[in-house]
Structure 1
Amino acid sequence: MRTLLVGSGILLMLVFLSVSSCGSSQKSVTISEEEAVAFKNQEADTVSISDPDSKYEIIIIEPGFNFWLNSIARPRGYYSQSFLENRNRIYVIEWNNRVMMPNRYNSLLYELRINYDPNVDYGYEVNYKLYYYFIYFQRKYRQRLGPFIPRI
């Protein structure tokens, strides 16, 4: 099983194809009180999911992410798998760009490169969790990984 590990800004996917990088712009995001409470949640949690139809798994180690995912994120099925895959490709490219530039971007947030093959079907569940980790990360750490405002 191939694994994606996410924690405190650390993301690792053991898939063997690298992607190129692109730029992004920064804009402010409004955080609700409920979301601010979720971000302050320091309860240690690990989210581990695998898609029954694929050989891939995602493991997210980030205090508060599971709480945020269950209380703030849109439910499964709200977005199509193709939407999630397209956004994940964009976010992975920018993430990898930032990993390669530690003098410009916080290396504690962008530690490890992600290899995301757009030709691999990781399944809905893996793409859903990865997408929402990117949204969570952008909103919590006030980052912008693409041309889209990170909305819920």
Structure 2
Amino acid sequence: MKKQIYLYSLLLATTLFLNSCVSSKEVVTISDAEKEIFTEKEGEPVVIADEESEYEITIIDPGFSAWLVSYARPEQFYSQNYLETRNRVYVTEWNARATQPFRYDPNLYEMQINYNSNTDYGYEVNYKLYNYFIYFQRKYNQRLGYFVPRI
């Protein structure tokens, strides 16, 4: 009887230990209204530019403009340093995927993004680029970094 109890407790302890070592995958919930924006076929392109610099990015994804107004955190919610740090991670992964068209969908990652972490692009460029990455990950169920793309 003692052996059975000991064996059972050892088995239970091992199971609990193994379950605590496994990382849980966080599920991103997307509302029906947000899904509706993702399916939009028409919309204005979003031009990401900073008045003080010559840098510009144009996003042609039809739903992004509506999503940015409806779901993104307001400007100044994040610090510029936070946005730059996240953008570095996202751009690095994006560019890695853009160079591997047989592994990742070439329709999603059509071209590389020329983002230099030593350049100050300004707040607006970093804000809109960051939010595009969040939008993109939520719309296409992708994960470009080790953090969950939530709003």
Shift of 1:28: 4.0
Structure 1 gaps of 5+ residues are 1-25
Q: Which amino acid aligns with 1:137?
A: F
- Per the alignment, residue 125 of structure 2 pairs with 126
Q: Quick check: 121-130 or 95-104, which moved more? A: 95-104
Q: Which amino acid aligns with 2:122?
A: G
CA distance in 2, matches of 1:91, 1:141: 15
- Per the alignment, residue 100 of structure 1 pairs with 99
For each residue in 1:116-143, what CA deviation from the matched residue of structure 2 results, as whole angstroms up to 9, or x when unmatched? 1100000000111110110000000000
CA distance in 1, matches of 2:144, 2:48: 23
Shift of 1:58: 2.1
Structure 2 gaps of 5+ residues are 1-24
CA distance in 1, matches of 2:26, 2:137: 11
- Per the alignment, residue 14 of structure 2 pairs with none
Once superposed, what is the RMSD of the aligned Cα atoms?
1.4
CA distance in 1, matches of 2:40, 2:110: 23
The number of residue pairs the alignment matches comes to 127
Structure 1 contact 28–142 (Cα < 8 Å) conserved: no
Identity score, percent: 61
- Per the alignment, residue 29 of structure 2 pairs with 30
Q: Which amino acid aligns with 2:62?
A: P
- Per the alignment, residue 137 of structure 1 pairs with 136
CA distance in 1, matches of 2:27, 2:108: 18
Q: Secondary structure at the match of 2:37?
A: helix
Structure having the higher strand fraction is 1
Q: Which has the higher contact order (CA 8 A, sep 6+)?
A: 1
CA distance in 2, matches of 1:111, 1:49: 18
Shift of 1:27: 5.8
CA distance in 2, matches of 1:63, 1:76: 21
Q: Is 1:117 equivalent to 2:116 in the alignment?
A: yes
Q: In the superposition, relative to structure 1, how do residues 49 and 110 fare at CA in structure 2: closer, same or farther (>3 Å)?
A: closer
Q: In the superposition, relative to structure 1, how do residues 55 and 69 fare at CA in structure 2: closer, same or farther (>3 Å)?
A: same
Please identify runs of 4+ aligned residues in structure 1 that moved more than 4 A.
none
Structure having the higher helix fraction is 2
1:3-152 mapped onto 2 (5 Å cutoff)? 28-152=27-151
